[in-house]
Amino acid sequence: MAFNFDQWIDRRHSDSLKWHKYGDQDVLPLWVADTDFRSPECVIEAIKQRAEHGVFGYGDTPSGLIDITISRLEQRYGWRIQPEWIVLLPGVVCGLNLSVRAFTDSEQSTVAPAPIYPPFRAAAKLAERAQISLPLRLEGQRWLMDLHTAPERLQGNERLLMLCNPQNPGGTVYRRSELLAQLAFAQQHDLIVCSDEIHCDLLLTPGVEHIPFATLSEDAAQRSITLISPSKTFNIAGLGASMAIIPNPELRKRFKQTRQGIVPGVDILALVAAEAAWRGGDDWLAAQIAYLRANRDRLVEQVNALPGLSMVAPEATYLGWIDASGLGVDNPTGYFEQHGLGFSPGHDFGDGRFVRFNFGCTRATLEEAIARLQRAIAARR
């Protein structure tokens, strides 16, 4: 079956947060992590069929979603989970916030890589918890956590290690040896681990594999909260269906207690969409990955040909982490906006020298963005 990722769908006058940001300004929105691709037909048809029912009262968890989740994780990642481990959530971000509040108190700290997806930083701040940052280092064209200098940064009151695999914004897919080092660090400092694995299906580099942190060992499973969702993979983030997988019954109990009365259940249409995506969307996903890989390769080639910019090829996601420190501007995001490019600001992730480029767009949009990027760099010369 052929899938048309070149199809232009005008989102400027829809309810798109991404495209509303700049209104009628001539700025290409390349920031928030949703793609401009139409979701798979299996998802659209499932939502239509559910809507035809015409009654939208309180919903229960569909057994089909639980079944396909269990089956998918075992088939793709060799991870055998139990139904009771699954906690449905209306988004991964609330899972990050619940983890901070459930597993630390006001005197305890969280630990997270930096730069990192902004809600990691915000979750600690909103809960009034300190956060220790472990810097990412560029090693062999991959962004890796610097665990060697980590002990000197710690205060002794750390309780929660917050991981992101594949890494956002760097795009690294951690190898088993790297994950085992993270586990050893967690064991050494007696840390619970919250692992955001929302981009696990979006692997662009041939030969890399996603390894869930919880599969490393029984100890890893018993200290972990794993956050997953089909939302980024199948462009259904606006529907909001995610999961926390928590094998440890005591951790699961605390997590569920913390959400009571605060975090609502998942929308019934979101549950329908999630099940349909995981059950019938894999052919579409394979085609999307091929398209994104070509976008990535084109972007990396063009960025690294421009003076003042550099970018390593992300192994996963549709997000490019671009080093603009060579431009000599104080605010790279603002500079690029003046030239019609709306990137995510690097300072939101913890490093203002960078911008994040969402290349989950049509090839025509990508080529226009590259042309604007070239003009922006030429204006600095």
The answer to whether residues 362 and 30 touch, using CB atoms and an 8 Å cutoff, is no
For 162, the enclosing helix (H) or strand (E) is: strand 158-164
Judged against a pLDDT cut of 80, whether residue 39 lies above it is answered with yes
State mean pLDDT over 272-281. Answer: 98
Q: What is the mean pLDDT of the chain?
A: 97
Percent of the chain exceeding pLDDT 90 equals 96
Task: Check if the beta carbon of residue 345 is closer than 8 Å to that of residue 355.
Answer: yes
Q: Would you say 232 and 33 are in contact if contact means Cβ atoms under 8 Å apart?
A: yes
pLDDT of residue 187: 98
Tens of pLDDT, residue by residue over 184-202, are 999 999 999 999 999 999 9
How far, in Å, CA of 105 to CA of 108, rounded?
A: 5
- Describe the crossing of helices 268-280 and 63-77 by its angle, rounded to 10 degrees: 40
pLDDT in the model for residue 151:
86
pLDDT of residue 61: 87
Position 62 confidence tier, pLDDT thresholds 50, 70, 90: confident
- In 153-306, where does DSSP find H-type helix? 176-188, 218-222, 249-259, 268-280, 282-303
**With 80 as the cut, is the pLDDT of residue 180 above it?**
yes
The per-residue pLDDT for 13 is 85
At 334-348, the pLDDT tens digits run 999 999 999 999 999
- Laid out side by side, the sheet with 310-311 consists of 310-311, 319-323, 354-358, 344-345
Other Cβ atoms less than 10 A from the Cβ of 301: the count is 12
Per-residue pLDDT at 1 exceeds 70: no
Per the CB < 8 A criterion, the answer to whether 333 and 21 are in contact is no
| CB within 8 Å of 167: residues ≥ 6 apart | 113, 136, 143, 173, 174
Q: What are phi and psi of 167, to 5 degrees?
A: -75, 135
User: In the structure, what pLDDT confidence band is assigned to residue 271 with cuts at 50, 70 and 90?
Assistant: very high
Q: What is the pLDDT of residue 356?
A: 98
Q: What is the mean pLDDT of residues 322-341?
A: 97
pLDDT, residue 15, reads: 93
